[in-house]
Amino acid sequence: MNNEKKVVTLTYGCQMSERDAETLTEISRQEGYVTSNDLENADLIIINTCCVRESAENKILGKIGDLKKLKDKNPNLKIAVSGCMVQQPGALERLQKRAPHIDIWTGTHNLHEFSGLLHRSAAGSKVAEIWQEPQETIESTPLAEKGKLQANVNIMYGCNNFCSYCIVPHVRGRERSRKPEEIIEEIKSLAANGCREVTLLGQNVNSYGKDFDPPFDFADLLREVDQIPELLRIRFITSHPKDLSDKLIQTIASGKKLCEHFHLPLQSGSNSILSSMNRQYTREYYLSIVEKIRDLVPQATLTTDIIVGFPGETEEDFEQTLEMINLVHYSQAFTFMYSKRSGTPAATMNDQISLDVKKRRLQKLMSVQNEESHQLRQRMIGKFYEVLVEGPSKTNPNRLTGRTRGNILVVFNGPQEVIGSLVSLRIIEAGSWTLVGELETTE
């Protein structure tokens, strides 16, 4: 038992990055490692990185530095660093110099090669393998761990949009869709192994299948996934507002298991900033989509991503962003200070905004959104919601937790047997962060 080799995986960044980390962990398991959270006793540590903002990079660099102590204590420990940060043009050399204690460096395009890299490293050499370009879409990525209630499924890789602040297209390459039959096969297999909720992942799922001849529509893919019997719920992220089709909104309205939640990154509420961000929509267009969603799917929740302090953002531009928060009524907003990413057009734009101003705007934005979220939760009191029960609550293990179809977290008292199934909860209390529900009683 104690001779088991242990792998600990640390992952940073978005769900796509998390999914990559699962693939690397699964490959390690196939190579004989067992998964663990115990860094001190690990035989292999995988750090799957993110480079979307400088703050993420700094945190990861700190962690990589800390691991030197473990490597000094246990020279047999192998440390692998993978993902977006390593994939940045010119980054590898800089990273290798800074962290010579790392055994394996690998990028975003060659995950499937990881077992080979582990073997080369076991044979004693330092390994660095980064493909500059993705090859054909790799279909045979190992499935995530079995028996999980929820799973993320990649439906496409890469991004063609080149928003002027964003590093993603530079590290994940152009859009490549996975074949619908491969996706369906993967989801059927997950469902057969106990998975009840899948989230379909892509940087812009609305352009899924546009690279096929003839093209294949994302809404049609959703309809097919909706037919898989054991599944209870289907989610998807992310939708670029410029590509959200009427057909998709109608499909969500008519689907059985398709959750009524749209993650629609706004980024800014000002047309001039949207234009220099290269977002390719206006605030008016964005609002017209929101109106369509509200019309066809009145119970839908909307969430968003917003950046404050983009170069050239004036107080008026920022006010327009705040105004959008009050017009759209998001259930949640992920808010960020603009971070310069070298190699992107925005990094060299004039009128970079000072850190002080960015901080002030972020605080203000968060407080306006918090008020919106609070009101939205208050309006839920007394109403019934379908919740997929995920397990014990992290903050109070005596209670259970789950999410509404709109992806809002609810805690409640209930028997363990309901874990993994759908229940109807009446909302009885709305705190700042949590909703409390009670099980509907059938008399």
Instruction: Please give the residue ranges that form the binding site for ligand SF4 (CB under 6 A).
Output: 159, 161-163, 166, 168-169, 203-204, 240
Please identify, using beta-carbon distances, which residue of 102 and 362 lies nearer to ligand 5AD: 362
For CA atoms 224, 225, 227, 228, the dihedral sign is positive
Please identify, using beta-carbon distances, which residue of 169 and 255 lies nearer to ligand SF4: 169
Residue pair 423/402 in contact by the 8 Å Cβ criterion? yes
Please identify, using beta-carbon distances, which residue of 203 and 369 lies nearer to ligand SF4: 203
Q: Closest distance between ligand 5AD and the C-beta of residue 273, in Å?
A: 12
339 binds, among ligand SF4, ligand 5AD, none (CB under 5 to 8 A by kind): ligand 5AD
Please identify, using beta-carbon distances, which residue of 108 and 203 lies nearer to ligand SF4: 203
Q: How far is CA 414 from the centre of its chain?
A: 29
Residues with Cβ < 8 Å from 53, sequence gap 6 or more?
336, 339, 341
161 binds, among ligand SF4, ligand 5AD, none (CB under 5 to 8 A by kind): ligand SF4
Q: Closest distance between ligand SF4 and the C-beta of residue 139, in Å?
A: 22
53 binds, among ligand SF4, ligand 5AD, none (CB under 5 to 8 A by kind): ligand 5AD
19 binds, among ligand 5AD, ligand SF4, none (CB under 5 to 8 A by kind): none
Percent helix, strand, coil in the chain, to 5, is 40, 20, 40
Which residues make up the interface to ligand 5AD (CB under 6 A)?
A: 14, 52-53, 165-166, 265, 267, 305, 307, 336, 338-339, 341
Residue pair 257/422 in contact by the 8 Å Cβ criterion? no
Please identify, using beta-carbon distances, which residue of 257 and 361 lies nearer to ligand 5AD: 361
Strands 5-11 and 44-49: what pairing? parallel
Q: Closest distance between ligand 5AD and the C-beta of residue 387, in Å?
A: 27
CA 140 to CA 16: how far, in whole Å?
A: 16
CA 190 to CA 9: how far, in whole Å?
A: 21
Q: Closest distance between ligand 5AD and the C-beta of residue 148, in Å?
A: 24
User: What Å distances lie between residue 361 and 10, 264, 322, 355, CA to CA?
Assistant: 31, 21, 10, 10
CA 365 to CA 299: how far, in whole Å?
A: 25
> Binding site annotation covers 259?
no
Please identify, using beta-carbon distances, which residue of 162 and 334 lies nearer to ligand SF4: 162
Please identify, using beta-carbon distances, which residue of 341 and 403 lies nearer to ligand 5AD: 341
Strands 197-201 and 78-83: what pairing? unpaired
Dihedral of CA atoms 320, 322, 323, 325 in degrees, nearest 10, equals 130
> Binding site annotation covers 84?
yes
CB atoms within 10 A of CB 296: 15
Q: Closest distance between ligand SF4 and the C-beta of residue 270, in Å?
A: 17
> Binding site annotation covers 195?
no
Q: State in Å, rounded, how far the first CA of the chain is from the last one.
A: 51
> Binding site annotation covers 51?
no
Q: Closest distance between ligand SF4 and the C-beta of residue 278, in Å?
A: 8
203 binds, among ligand SF4, ligand 5AD, none (CB under 5 to 8 A by kind): ligand SF4
Q: Closest distance between ligand 5AD and the C-beta of residue 54, in Å?
A: 8
Q: Which residue is nearest to ligand 5AD (CB)?
A: 305
CA 325 to CA 331: how far, in whole Å?
A: 10
Which residue numbers belong to the known binding site for [4Fe-4S] cluster? 14, 50, 84, 159, 163, 166
